[in-house]
Amino acid sequence: MIIILYLGMAVDTAPGDTVDIIHYQAKEIVYDLEKSLITLSDSSIITYRDIKLTSDSAYYHIDENVLEAFGNCDLRQMGDSIKGDYLKYNIENRKALMTNARTQIGKGFLEGKKVIWVSKDVINAYDGVYTTCSNTPPHYYFYSPKMKIYLGDMVIARPIFLYIQGVPVVAAPFWFVPISKKRKSGLLPFRAGNSRDFGKFIRGFAYYFVISDYADLTLQVDAMEKKGIMPHLEAIWDYNPFTKGTIHSSYIKETDTRRKRYSIEARNSSPYFLLGSSFNCDIHYISDNQYQQDFTDTTVLWLKKEISSQATITGEFNSIKNTLFFERMENIADSTIIEKLPGYSFSTPSRLLFSTINYSVAGHFTREQYQSSVDTTRVVGADISTAPSFKQNILGLFTISPRVNFDLAGFDQDTAGNRLRMRAAYSFTTSATTIFYRIFGLELLGFHGILHKVIPQISYSYTPDFHSERFPVVSGIPRFTPCNQIAFGIGQEFEAKFGEELKKIHVLKMNWNGAYNLLTDSLTPFKFFGELPANLFPGPISSFNLNIRGEWNPYNYDYTYTITNSISFVLSFFSINLNQSYTKAGTYQIWFNGKLKPTRNWLVSYSARYDWETKRLVNYSFNLQRDLHCWQANFSFNQLGDVWRYDFKVQIKEIPEVQIGKGLLGYIFE
């Protein structure tokens, strides 16, 4: 039986009137006129606006405008559902109370012996349990006697206890768990481990602070048994299209050496800068040459031998591109430093002369400083250059491409110490090339025709002797070394259509070239190259490449070569990428990386480099990952030479952040 009761009329700001209607449905409905009470028994269903309540039985207190539901209560609103044993709901202020409540919030599940709706978006839960584990009972859960839930935002608990397999393992005075898709402030996951240089350590213990939708700040602390405490500060901003960048700094006063060490890194990209220009910078500065190798987390940076910084301002005025730049490069191995403070370059767009000759004009100015452990050298130079060129097909047989390069340069002084020296120079080169084709109608082993290309080429280069040794070496200004030579070569390519799909593939590439030096009346060493770029193997070989390159001396018949090969195998539970390099005289090295998934929950990732000459692994790393349903455990190990490091981390998959509230004592549970 269905009863529809009109409760009254309401006035809205929009034209017309609206009527709130409550729909009742149950197998038995009793209306008590004296008590103004409607009793719904056996499979009660109450619908009001966007709310639907189902329960075993229910009361509707007409005068108080309150609903009460008993036994297997299920309150649904806008796709959300909360279930419990008892519900009391005030229709007017939309406040509610439920006992033994259960609901899903965000990626997790919340239970509470008593749950109170304080307002539309705020819920209080008492004796609450929160978990992201879907198992019953859950592998882990957070328990708190008091929780405050901000729907679509966060869950705040005070105090809180972490239970694993029903056993309390961690307690905290307060805690909050983000349930919003937006970024949230809080502590980030950290790693615990051991290394040769650090001893036992905790790294990456960091607080992540969301300043706004466009900026973040991270404060990190690394604690190392042998080195001490290292704080880090990182800021990230993205005010696109005006500015986007990061800045990161770190500092440590080592307990073992008492040295003060630090690093500063900054990156910024500003497409809209002064007067329509753009600004970009990438700044790296370290206190000493070993800092990066000592404290970086990746073996790639362990091997890095240079620290470079640059900043550029680029703008286009009257179609001329102008760039003002500052550069600094430090060689870690020998402590040499090269600085360009400042540098300037410009270039005009390419233009056509007589509808045939293509040319543009470019120029540089550089103030360069070279600093070594012995002395410091400074040079200043500027130049302006143009290089007219054109291409012309001759009778449809071959193409010639002549080019002349003119350059006028000035220096603050020459190598003899003479001030304000000038140099004018030019060079000339021309080349001719053509392509011969032939098609073979081969139908064999999956091939459906082969296209053979033969590409001969010849070129002539000439540069007079301008005595460039009289002038200093300045970046960006060409040297114009004397040259008078004829170069020649021939390339071959084999293409084919392969398989049922007639897929076009490159089967083989070969190239051979040499030159005759007219100045020395001698041949230069001939260079050769060959490559098999196509993967013709069936699965599980997913990729394959083989090439050889080298040189041959025509006078003593000596030769060198290097053979490289890469191949990948992929199976459902195993993959490996293998790279090999062999050089004449026995230098043979192997790089490999891949993954192994022995079971559904285990994953092993690995990589290594093996030196065949020394018969040992030069560097290697591996990572073990264990899926623990709602948890994830990671163990990683890295070694390069005598330097080794390992760390271990366990985290909740759906809540990777270990977040502790900031300023949360101001929240008061009602």
Using a 10 angstrom Cβ sphere, with 0-12 exposed, 13-18 middle and 19 or more buried, the burial of residue 575 is middle
Q: Centre a 10 Å sphere on the Cβ of residue 427 and count the other Cβ atoms it contains.
A: 20
Higher pLDDT, 664 or 247: 247
Higher pLDDT, 629 or 505: 505
* Opening angle at CA 22, ends 149 and 9, nearest 5: 105
User: 256-281, pLDDT tens digit by residue?
Assistant: 889 999 999 999 999 888 888 999 99
Residues linked to residue 325 through DSSP beta bridges, in sequence order? 312, 343
Q: What is the pLDDT, as a whole number, of residue 556? A: 93
DSSP 615: T
What average pLDDT score do residues 640-655 get? 71
What average pLDDT score do residues 419-443 get? 92
Higher pLDDT, 188 or 424: 424
Taking a C-beta distance cutoff of 8 angstroms, is the pair 229, 219 a contact? no
Separation between Cα atoms, residue 187 and residue 208, nearest integer Å: 6
* Opening angle at CA 238, ends 235 and 241, nearest 5: 150
**293-299 own/partner pairs: CB under 8 Å, 24+ apart:** 293/332, 294/197, 295/230, 295/250, 295/252, 295/263, 297/203, 298/638, 299/619, 299/621, 299/638, 299/640
User: 359-398, pLDDT tens digit by residue?
Assistant: 999 999 999 998 887 888 899 999 999 999 999 988 888 8
User: 11-27, pLDDT tens digit by residue?
Assistant: 222 233 345 677 878 88
pLDDT-derived band of residue 567, with 50, 70 and 90 as boundaries?
very high
Quote the tokens at residue 34. Answer: 């004296």
Question: Does an H or E element contain 299, and which?
Answer: helix 299-302
Helix (H, G, I), strand (E, B) or coil at 666: helix
Higher pLDDT, 511 or 89: 511
Q: What is the pLDDT, as a whole number, of residue 299? A: 56
User: 449-495, pLDDT tens digit by residue?
Assistant: 889 999 999 999 999 999 989 999 998 899 999 999 999 999 999 99
Residues linked to residue 617 through DSSP beta bridges, in sequence order? 610
Q: What is the pLDDT, as a whole number, of residue 5? A: 37
Q: What is the pLDDT, as a whole number, of residue 189? A: 66
Q: Tell me which range, 63-67, 153-157, 246-250, 661-665, is most confidently predicted by mean pLDDT.
A: 246-250
pLDDT-derived band of residue 663, with 50, 70 and 90 as boundaries?
very low
pTM score over 0.75: no
Strands 140-150 and 483-498: unpaired
Over 50: is that where the pLDDT of 641 sits? Answer: yes
Over 50: is that where the pLDDT of 668 sits? Answer: no
Over 70: is that where the pLDDT of 293 sits? Answer: yes
pLDDT-derived band of residue 61, with 50, 70 and 90 as boundaries?
confident
> What's the chain's average pLDDT?
84
**Radius of gyration, CA atoms only, the chain:** 37
Q: What is the pLDDT, as a whole number, of residue 132? A: 80
User: 516-536, pLDDT tens digit by residue?
Assistant: 999 999 999 999 999 998 887
What average pLDDT score do residues 19-36 get? 80
Separation between Cα atoms, residue 176 and residue 218, nearest integer Å: 18
Overall size of the chain counted in residues? 670
